[in-house]
C-alpha cells in the first residue's frame, strides 16, 4: 500500500468512526486530514483533498472549532486562514470526552433530575417512575463524575486510568 492509498483509507475509516464520538463523517474526515498533515491547511486545501464543497468545509470547520478540536493558525505571509488539530492522541480523546459530556450527558442528567423530582401522588406508576429515574440519574451522574475525573488527569489519563482498574 502506498502513501496515498494509506492516507485515503485512514481518512475514510476515521470518517466512518466519527459517529461513534458524536460527529458527522465530513467533520471526522477533516479532522483526520489535519491530524496526519505535516503543516496547517487552508480551507481550499481541505476542500481539494477531501473533494467536499466550500459550504460543507466551512460549516464543519466551525463545528470542529466549537468542539475545541481544530484551531485557526496564522501562516506568515499568507492572507488565507489555516487550520490545525490537536496532535496528541490522548489529549484529543480528553477533549472529545469532555465535549461529549457537556453536549450529551449533562442535558440527560438535568432531564432525569427534573423527572425524578416530580411530586409523588402516591400511585404505583408515579412511585415506579420516580424510583427508576432517580436510580438512572444517580448512575448517570456517577459515570459523568468518573469520566470528568479521568479527563482532568491530563498526562496519559487513559493509560493511567486503565492501569488503575487492573490493580
The answer, yes or no, to whether residue 163 has pLDDT greater than 70, is: no
* Whether residue 138 is found in the same domain as residue 68: no
- The pLDDT value recorded for residue 60 is 96
CATH of the domain at 22: 1.10.10.10
- Domain residues for the domain of 109 are 89-166
CB of 146 closer than 8 Å to CB of 153: no
- The pLDDT value recorded for residue 132 is 95
- C-alpha–C-alpha distance, residues 151 and 6, integer Å: 31
- The backbone torsions φ and ψ at residue 77, rounded to the nearest 5 degrees and listed phi first, read 80, 0
Lowest average pLDDT, out of 71-80, 108-117, 140-149, 154-163, goes to: 154-163
Q: Is 87 exposed, middle or buried (0-12, 13-18, 19+ CB in 10 A)?
A: exposed
Residues 6+ apart with CB under 8 A from 25: 15, 16, 18, 19
Between 164 and 1, whose confidence is greater? 1
Q: Each residue of 100-148: pLDDT tens digit? A: 888 889 999 999 999 999 999 999 999 999 999 999 999 999 988 888 8
* Whether residue 81 is found in the same domain as residue 141: no
Q: Each residue of 18-37: pLDDT tens digit? A: 877 778 899 999 999 999 99
The answer, yes or no, to whether residue 71 has pLDDT greater than 60, is: yes
- C-alpha–C-alpha distance, residues 101 and 153, integer Å: 16
Average confidence (pLDDT) over 56-78: 93
- The pLDDT value recorded for residue 11 is 93
Long-range contact set of residues 99-108: C-beta below 8 Å, sequence gap at least 24: 99/22, 99/67, 99/68, 100/21, 100/22, 101/144, 101/147, 101/148, 101/151, 103/22, 104/22, 105/140, 105/143, 105/144, 105/147, 106/144, 108/140
- The pLDDT value recorded for residue 96 is 82
* Whether residue 137 is found in the same domain as residue 78: no
Rounded to 5 degrees, what angle do the CA atoms 104, 107, 112 make? 120
Lowest average pLDDT, out of 7-16, 78-87, 94-103, 106-115, goes to: 94-103
Other CB atoms within 10 Å distance of the CB of residue 33: 21
Grid cell, residue 38, equals 505535516
- The count of structural domains within the chain is 2
- Boundary (domain end) residue, out of 85, 110, 130: 85
- The pLDDT value recorded for residue 147 is 80
Between 117 and 158, whose confidence is greater? 117
* Whether residue 132 is found in the same domain as residue 157: yes
Q: Each residue of 37-53: pLDDT tens digit? A: 999 999 999 999 999 99
Amino acid at each position: 500500500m502506498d502513501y496515498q492509498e494509506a492516507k485515503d483509507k485512514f481518512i475514510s475509516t476515521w470518517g466512518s468512526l466519527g459517529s461513534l464520538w458524536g460527529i458527522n463523517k465530513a467533520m471526522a474526515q477533516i479532522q483526520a486530514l489535519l491530524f496526519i498533515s505535516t503543516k496547517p491547511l487552508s480551507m481550499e486545501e481541505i476542500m481539494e483533498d477531501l473533494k467536499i464543497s466550500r459550504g460543507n468545509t466551512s460549516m464543519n470547520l466551525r463545528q470542529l472549532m466549537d468542539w475545541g478540536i481544530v484551531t485557526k493558525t496564522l501562516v506568515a505571509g499568507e492572507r488565507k486562514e489555516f487550520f490545525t488539530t490537536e496532535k496528541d492522541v490522548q489529549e484529543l480523546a480528553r477533549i472529545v470526552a469532555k465535549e461529549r459530556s457537556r453536549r450529551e450527558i449533562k442535558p440527560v442528567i438535568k432531564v432525569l433530575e427534573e423527572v425524578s423530582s416530580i411530586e409523588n401522588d402516591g400511585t404505583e406508576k408515579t412511585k415506579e417512575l420516580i424510583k427508576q429515574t432517580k436510580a438512572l440519574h444517580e448512575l448517570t451522574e456517577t459515570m459523568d463524575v468518573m469520566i470528568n475525573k479521568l479527563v482532568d488527569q491530563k498526562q496519559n489519563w487513559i493509560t493511567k486510568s486503565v492501569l488503575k482498574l487492573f490493580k
